[in-house]
Amino acid sequence: MKHILSIITVCLLLVISGCSSTTETIETIQEDKLPVVVSFHAMGELARAIGGDKVDVRTIIPDGEEPHDFQPKATDLAALGTAKIFIMNGLGLEQSWSDKALQSAANKDIRIVTASDGTDPIHVPMKHILHHDTTAEPTDPHVWLSLTNAQIEGRNICNAYCEADPDNAAYYEQRYADFAAKTAALAAAYKDRFAASPQKTFVTGHAAFAYMARDFGLTQKSLTNVFASGEPSARNLTELADFCNANHIRVIFLENMESPKIAETLASETGASLEGLDTMESADGDKTYLDVMADNLEKIATSL
């Protein structure tokens, strides 16, 4: 009996030892990854596209919340406190909360990446949107919805990864090169399609696609401004409906987080159908950045 008990004890110790070893391995793998915090989903997609399995990406702003209206929680500050890199879009999108959050996190070692650095911003004359006299020209923050700008944002992210984790610099550089090649190929394919299209104007509910339009020589018309604030006046709605009818616009595009009410009114006035475009402010299943951009471009190209 003592002999049997000894054997059982040894077996139990081996099992416990094996479990402990497995746990330590998992923790080691997690610790080996570069801890990255991003402001919202689109930045997370770019962060993962460049970082692959060498980074552990946490997104602060949950799906369904606007980046400029967000207020961080204690758990978000804790994540910033231990992160090596914080990636935000910039151009004022996270301005209302990012500085205070970083100050509260008190992480002197964190690298802050403003992904939009180096892009060519579009300034929006607000008097054309809000119908009052002002010289203010806020910046359109939606740079990530341009394949050209995505390469710049990806480059900024790659540089930060290489500085923070030089042992894996070659890995990050290769992933960036692959990403840049794919974005360039996708842009080239649609450049030819848009160039051949007799129609160059598309209509959206939210004016989020000006950078994409600029890339391909298109014109975006929209129901609401770049901040999706306010509602169009009856006069503006009538003018846009007249434009759609005169130019045979048969598709009104709606952002995936946007209320369809006003767009449905325009559609009923023009006989147009409604289709969704994804701004990547929230996740859409397992779709990557390039998946979403290809879907958006295909829908717009087909509508033209």
Task: Return the closest-CA partner of residue 132 out of 230, 27, 228, 36.
Answer: 230
User: Same domain, yes or no, for 197 and 92?
Assistant: no
Cβ-based neighbours of 40, under 8 Å, separated by 6 or more? 59, 60, 61, 67, 89, 94, 281
Tell me, yes or no, whether 90 and 131 share the same domain: yes
Please check whether residue 1 lies inside any domain of the structure.
no
205, 279: one domain: yes
- The closest of 123, 115, 119, 122 to 98, measured between CA atoms, is 115
The whole-number pLDDT of residue 141 equals 95
Residues 181 and 197 in one domain: no
Is 245 in the same domain as 163? no
In Å, the largest CA–CA distance within the chain is 95
Same domain membership, residue 255 and residue 170? no
| pLDDT at residue number 6 | 46
Token reading at 28:
């080691």
Same domain as 123, residue 164: yes
In a domain? residue 161? yes
Same structural domain for residues 45 and 126? Answer: yes
Q: Starting at the edge strand that comes first in sequence, how are the strands of the sheet with 85-88 ordered?
A: 55-59, 34-38, 85-88, 111-114
In a domain, 292, yes or no: yes
How crowded is residue 80: how many other Cβ atoms within 10 Å of its Cβ?
23
Residue 14 included in any domain: no
Q: Give residue 230's pLDDT.
A: 63
> What pLDDT score was predicted for residue 135?
46
**pLDDT, position 268:** 87
Assess contact for 278 and 296: CB atoms under 8 A.
Answer: yes
Task: From 163, 186, 209, give the residue that closes a domain.
Answer: 186
Instruction: Note the pLDDT of residue 30.
Output: 52
pLDDT for 217: 96
* 206 & 111 share domain: no
Pick the last residue of a domain from 171, 186, 201.
186
CATH code, 243: 3.40.50.1980
Domain stops at, among 134, 157, 186: 186
Range of the domain at 257: 193-303
Asked if 39 and 133 sit in the same domain, the reply is: yes
DSSP 3-state of 115: coil
What predicted TM-score, i.e. pTM, was given to this entire model?
0.84
96 domain residue, yes or no: yes
pLDDT attached to residue 27:
34
Count structural domains, the chain.
2
275 domain residue, yes or no: yes
pLDDT < 50 regions, the chain? 1-29, 127-135
Q: How many residues does the chain have?
A: 304
Is 61 part of any domain? yes
Question: Torsions phi, psi of 91, nearest 5?
Answer: 55, 35
Which tokens sit at 192?
A: 């030819």
Q: Are residues 111 and 242 in the same domain?
A: no
Please tell me whether residues 103 and 140 are part of one structural domain.
Answer: yes
Can you spell out the DSSP letters for 114-183?
Answer: ETTTTS-PPB--THHHHSS-----PBP--GGGSHHHHHHHHHHHHHHHHHH-GGGHHHHHHHHHHHHHHH
Order the strands of the 201-206 sheet from edge to edge.
Answer: 219-224, 201-206, 251-255, 273-277
- Quick one: pLDDT at residue 228? 63
8 A C-beta contact, residue 300 and residue 276: no
Residue 197 falls within a domain, yes or no? yes
